[in-house]
């Protein structure tokens, strides 16, 4: 057997089980989920006995008339938007700050990155304690801090507020803060890696030509980091669609679903309400949303390679 | 060629090694439950002690899934049963939940013959056995305990301080609420972070406005949800929500009980598992905390019962039967219930082992009319419960009674024939 052919067979042999496993457990189950979402499997008996009827897109029509689902979609959209903007802005600021190598930058660099090492379940619990409003008579969490500082007018309902501006529920701000806190260090790390690759001479030259720090940032650093920023946006966007654990632990779906996202609705309707086909429908809609984000990015990356 | 084969074998071996299930050991009996809070876990340990004494050849293993009311445990159980990996026995609420989720899909074996063989059939309260009896007349699980859910808990110190009494009618309730509000005390503690406490409150108000016959009629289809009592209950809920703590959406039921303990709120509508919490903080019954039925529900007993069943296809049937025998025994029930803060499903408890509250509950249970709880899975299928929770969750914010009644009618049509 020729060496090259043999080598190819070996690599195929090593990969084959993974390819099969992915084929079954990822793509097979996606197909199965699509199939379930087109049926009326809405209780455990018909689920077990396989008695179902195809109802076409009825589950999807129903979802788009469902106030909880629509509220959740809007919430997720606003969450994604502000989470990405916040994590990017804060992360880039921290990266630029660390890149100047101030005293003790090693310590700060690690402190900024630490939140990412903790799971959403842990941070969600802690942020729930922080933002628990208490009542005006006995405030809790951050409200208690304002109270003790003699600024009771700053006390607020936080994630229990049902106030909204258009479709934007103000209560989401608390979750956005928690998520930005957790993932801005991640953006910082990505940006920092990129910054370290920009030649020092380039910045030196700009400085000698009299460019201000802001000009160096907007004219040199930011354009050169475009690819990294885009990767960060894609990663943060898909994290925001999967923020189930943070929301579930921190606030639940909230009064009038002010902090609900489709992922939480999917879990509750599938595993509590036994509405398998409706849950499958939500999963497929989420998958398509992730697809809209990721596929153009992947196509672009492959083309460049 | 040998390298190719080796590569395939190695990677296959890795997959198999990762997926190989842990092999069950001979004498172990695996029991799935959701008792993880302080007093609950202690109660289970006490029951395990009795089991070890009665059946030393078996060793009980507790697979606990945390989460009040078992909402997450149910997801785990369905997954394991569908996947053909049942535990030897598991905790399940008697009533609709047992049948819609477990018996009708064919996961369960009847236990009627076992109960007759042990001669304990007549030792159980017959109305409780009705909650676990299928249409075929077979009994499908062994009731271990009974919780009452239509209890109005009171902070006795606050009531004494303001010279108030626990209300007996809805109108009295609002008079007391108003007096407390003026005195600067939160009248009613609610913690609906997990949604079901609102439904818990609502179902008690429904019982108060409809009475037990009409309320029970909702579940066999003889009474419709456009009954005036449903609308009236929503109106009362609407009024009552003006008297609850403003941060109710941030608290779970324990958080609401904590408001009572911290002297911040005077009343809490909760099942009698709340008493376990009061006792855990060393509160004295009748001095620090008191109780009465939810106004308008006197003579009724909203019942939540934890039972254990026998799944099909289990690895240790002898062990599971031995476990159920302990659950059905007087020793087992009297070891478990005083610690859990519930009353036994048997009619022959050793009354002296129970707290003052539980003794009053045992007395009421013997004479009251039983009604099944919606929030705790005894009355209606889970799809209905979860959608009703959604509807009430929006009602709490929007307070739109007509819209809410329409939506309840829609889901009643979808889930209850």
pLDDT tens, B303-327?
999 999 999 999 999 999 999 999 9
State whether B383 and A275 contact (CB < 8 Å): yes
Task: Using alpha carbons, list the distances in angstroms from residue A59 to A35, A53, A55, A279, A280.
Answer: 12, 12, 8, 9, 9
Q: Can you give the C-alpha Rg of chain A in angstroms?
A: 24
The confidence score (pLDDT) of residue A1 equals 60
In a domain, residue A33? The reply is no
Facing A159 at nearest CB: one of B78, B104, B250? B250
Q: How many domains does chain A have?
A: 1
State whether A13 and B8 contact (CB < 8 Å): yes
In a domain, residue A194? The reply is yes
Q: Any bridge partners for residue A54, and if so which?
A: A39
The confidence score (pLDDT) of residue B57 equals 93
Residue A176 has pLDDT above 90, yes or no: yes
Other C-beta atoms within 10 Å of A142: how many?
20
Mutation pick from A8, A127, A143, A252 vs chain B, by most beta carbons of B within 10 Å, is: A252
The confidence score (pLDDT) of residue B5 equals 65
Please choose, from the candidates B141, B86, B144, the residue with its C-alpha nearest in 3D space to the C-alpha of residue B115: B141
The confidence score (pLDDT) of residue B19 equals 47
Q: Give me the DSSP letters along B186-220.
A: EEEE---TTSHHHHHHHHHHHHHHHHHHHHHHHHH
Facing B397 at nearest CB: one of A131, A134, A162? A162
Contacts of B160 (CB under 8 A, 6+ apart): none
In a domain, residue A146? The reply is yes
pLDDT tens digits, residue range A245-255? 999 999 988 88
State whether A272 and B246 contact (CB < 8 Å): no
B window 32-91, beta carbon within 8 A of A = 71, 74-75, 78, 82
Q: Any bridge partners for residue B133, and if so which?
A: B139
pLDDT tens digits, residue range A47-81? 777 778 899 999 999 999 999 999 999 999 999 99
Facing A45 at nearest CB: one of B11, B105, B398? B105
pLDDT tens digits, residue range B207-240? 999 999 999 999 988 999 999 999 999 999 999 9
pLDDT tens digits, residue range A112-130? 999 988 999 999 999 999 9
Please choose, from the candidates B254, B303, B346, B287, the residue with its C-alpha nearest in 3D space to the C-alpha of residue B155: B287
Q: In chain A, what is the straight-line distance between the N-terminal and C-terminal CA atoms, in Å?
A: 32
Please choose, from the candidates B284, B417, B270, the residue with its C-alpha nearest in 3D space to the C-alpha of residue B355: B284
Average pLDDT, chain B: 90
Tell me the nearest-neighbour CA distance from B372 into chain A, angstroms. Answer: 19
- Percentage of residues of chain B with pLDDT beyond 70: 93
Average pLDDT, chain A: 90
Facing B71 at nearest CB: one of A47, A269, A272? A272
Please choose, from the candidates A243, A253, A202, the residue with its C-alpha nearest in 3D space to the C-alpha of residue A223: A202
Residue with tokens 């990663």: A235
Contacts of B70 in chain A (CB under 8 A): none
| B21: confidence class by pLDDT, cuts 50, 70, 90 | very low
Count of CA atoms in the C-beta half-sphere (13 A) of B79 = 9
| B71: confidence class by pLDDT, cuts 50, 70, 90 | confident
Judge whether A140 and A132 are in contact, CB under 8 Å: yes
Tell me the nearest-neighbour CA distance from B12 into chain A, angstroms. Answer: 6
The confidence score (pLDDT) of residue B20 equals 43
Segment B188-193 mean pLDDT: 94
Cβ burial B26-47 (10 Å sphere, 16+ → b, else e): eeebbbbbbbebebbbebbebb
| B2: confidence class by pLDDT, cuts 50, 70, 90 | low
Facing B1 at nearest CB: one of A1, A136, A272? A1
* CA gap B198, B261 in Å, rounded: 20
State whether B398 and A10 contact (CB < 8 Å): no
The confidence score (pLDDT) of residue A2 equals 74
State whether B11 and A254 contact (CB < 8 Å): no
Tell me the nearest-neighbour CA distance from B396 into chain A, angstroms. Answer: 7
Task: Using alpha carbons, list the distances in angstroms from residue B342 to B124, B326, B339.
Answer: 15, 17, 8
Residue A99 has pLDDT above 80, yes or no: yes
Segment B107-114 mean pLDDT: 95
* CA gap B9, B16 in Å, rounded: 10
Residue B417 has pLDDT above 80, yes or no: no
Q: Any bridge partners for residue B293, and if so which?
A: B151
| B377: confidence class by pLDDT, cuts 50, 70, 90 | confident
Question: Helices B317-328 and B38-54, interaxial angle, to 10°?
Answer: 110
In a domain, residue A24? The reply is no
B window 221-250, beta carbon within 8 A of A = 245-250
Residue B201 has pLDDT above 60, yes or no: yes
Lowest mean pLDDT among A11-25, A101-115, B107-121: A101-115
What are the φ and ψ backbone dihedral angles of B104, each rounded to 5 degrees? -60, -40
In a domain, residue A62? The reply is yes
In a domain, residue A25? The reply is no
* CA gap A299, B130 in Å, rounded: 62
Q: Domain of A77: which CATH number? A: 1.10.3720.10
Give the structural domain span for A109: 57-304
And the tokens for B57?
């050849």
State whether A272 and B386 contact (CB < 8 Å): yes
Judge whether A265 and A68 are in contact, CB under 8 Å: yes
State whether A272 and B3 contact (CB < 8 Å): no
Q: Any bridge partners for residue B307, and if so which?
A: B92, B143
Q: Any bridge partners for residue B189, and if so which?
A: B268
Task: Using alpha carbons, list the distances in angstroms from residue B70 to A195, B33, B248, B300, B320.
Answer: 50, 8, 21, 25, 21
pTM of the model: 0.88
| Beta-strand pair B151-155/B289-293 | antiparallel
Task: Using alpha carbons, list the distances in angstroms from residue A294 to A39, A87, A301.
Answer: 28, 19, 11
Q: Can you give the C-alpha Rg of chain B in angstroms?
A: 23
The confidence score (pLDDT) of residue B72 equals 79
- Percentage of residues of chain A with pLDDT beyond 70: 100
Contacts of A273 in chain B (CB under 8 A): 382-383, 385-387
The confidence score (pLDDT) of residue B24 equals 44
Closest residue in A to B244 (Cα) is A135
Predicted ipTM? Answer: 0.85
Judge whether A113 and A273 are in contact, CB under 8 Å: no
State whether B264 and A138 contact (CB < 8 Å): yes
Contacts of B251 in chain A (CB under 8 A): 132
In a domain, residue A66? The reply is yes
Mutation pick from A11, A257, A264, A273 vs chain B, by most beta carbons of B within 10 Å, is: A273
In a domain, residue A43? The reply is no
The three-state secondary structure class of A82 is: helix
- List, in order of start, the domains of chain B with CATH numbers: 29-146+304-360 (3.40.190.10), 151-302+373-415 (3.40.190.10)
């Amino acid at each position: 057997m020729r060496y090259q052919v043999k080598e190819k067979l070996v690599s195929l042999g090593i990969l084959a089980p993974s390819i099969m496993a992915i084929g079954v457990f990822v793509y097979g189950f996606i197909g199965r989920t699509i199939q379930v979402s087109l049926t009326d499997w809405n209780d455990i008996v018909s689920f077990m006995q396989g008695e179902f009827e195809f109802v076409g897109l009825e589950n999807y029509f129903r979802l788009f008339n469902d106030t909880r689902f629509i509220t959740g979609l809007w919430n997720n959209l606003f969450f994604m938007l502000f989470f990405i903007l916040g994590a990017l802005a804060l992360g880039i600021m921290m990266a630029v700050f660390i890149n100047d190598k101030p005293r003790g930058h090693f310590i700060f660099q690690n402190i900024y990155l630490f939140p990412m090492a903790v799971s959403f379940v842990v941070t969600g619990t802690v942020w729930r304690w922080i933002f628990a409003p208490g009542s005006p008579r006995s405030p809790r969490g951050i409200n208690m801090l304002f109270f003790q500082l003699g600024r009771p007018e700053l006390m607020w309902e936080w994630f229990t507020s049902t106030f909204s501006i258009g479709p934007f529920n103000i209560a989401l701000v608390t979750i956005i803060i928690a998520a930005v806190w957790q993932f801005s260090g991640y953006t910082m790390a990505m940006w920092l890696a990129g910054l370290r690759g920009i030649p020092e001479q380039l910045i030196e030259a700009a400085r000698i030509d009299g460019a201000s720090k802001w000009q160096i940032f907007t004219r040199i650093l930011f354009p050169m980091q475009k690819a990294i920023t885009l990767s960060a946006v894609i990663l943060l966007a898909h994290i925001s669609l999967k923020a189930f654990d943070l929301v579930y632990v921190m606030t639940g779906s909230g009064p009038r679903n002010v902090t609900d996202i489709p992922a939480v609705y999917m879990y509750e309707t599938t595993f509590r309400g036994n509405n398998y086909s409706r849950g499958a429908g939500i999963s497929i809609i989420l998958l398509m949303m992730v697809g809209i984000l990721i596929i153009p990015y992947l196509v672009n990356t492959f083309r460049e390679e | 060629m040998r390298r190719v084969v080796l590569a395939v074998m190695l990677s296959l071996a890795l997959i198999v090694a990762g997926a190989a299930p842990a092999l069950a050991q001979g004498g172990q009996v695996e029991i799935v439950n959701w008792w993880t809070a302080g007093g609950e876990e202690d109660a289970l340990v006490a029951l395990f002690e009795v089991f070890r004494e009665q059946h030393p050849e078996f060793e009980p293993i507790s697979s606990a899934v945390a989460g009040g009311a078992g909402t997450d445990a149910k997801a785990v159980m369905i997954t394991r049963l569908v996947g053909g990996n049942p535990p030897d026995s598991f905790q399940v609420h008697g009533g609709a939940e047992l049948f819609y989720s477990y018996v009708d899909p064919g996961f369960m074996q009847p236990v009627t013959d076992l109960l007759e063989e042990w001669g304990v059939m007549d030792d159980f309260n017959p109305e409780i056995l009705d909650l676990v009896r299928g249409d075929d007349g077979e009994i499908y699980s062994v009731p271990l305990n009974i919780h009452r859910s239509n209890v109005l808990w009171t902070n006795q110190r606050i009531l004494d301080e303001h010279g108030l009494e626990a209300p007996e009618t809805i109108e009295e309730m609002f008079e007391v609420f108003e007096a407390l509000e003026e005195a600067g005390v939160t009248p009613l503690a609610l913690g609906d972070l997990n949604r079901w406490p609102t439904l818990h409150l609502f179902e008690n108000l429904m019982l108060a406005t409809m009475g037990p016959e009409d309320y029970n009629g909702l579940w066999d289809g003889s009474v419709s949800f456009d009954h005036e009592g449903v609308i009236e209950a929503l109106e009362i809920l609407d009024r009552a929500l003006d008297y609850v703590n403003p941060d109710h959406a941030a608290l779970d039921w324990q958080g609401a009980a904590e408001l009572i303990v911290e002297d911040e709120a005077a009343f809490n509508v909760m099942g009698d598992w709340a008493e376990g919490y009061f006792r855990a903080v060393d509160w004295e019954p009748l001095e620090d905390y008191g109780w009465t039925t939810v106004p308008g529900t006197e003579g009724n007993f909203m019942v939540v019962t934890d039972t254990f069943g026998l799944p099909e296809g289990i690895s240790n049937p002898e062990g599971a039967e031995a476990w159920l025998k302990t659950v059905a025994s007087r020793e087992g029930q009297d070891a478990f219930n005083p610690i859990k803060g519930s009353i036994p499903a048997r009619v022959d408890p050793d009354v002296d082992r129970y707290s003052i509250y539980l003794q009053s509950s045992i007395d009421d249970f013997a004479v009251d009319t039983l009604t099944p709880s919606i929030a705790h899975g005894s009355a209606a299928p889970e799809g209905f419960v979860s959608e009703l929770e959604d509807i009430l969750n929006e009602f709490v914010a929007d307070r739109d009674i007509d819209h809410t009644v329409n939506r309840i009618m829609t889901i009643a049509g979808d889930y209850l024939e």
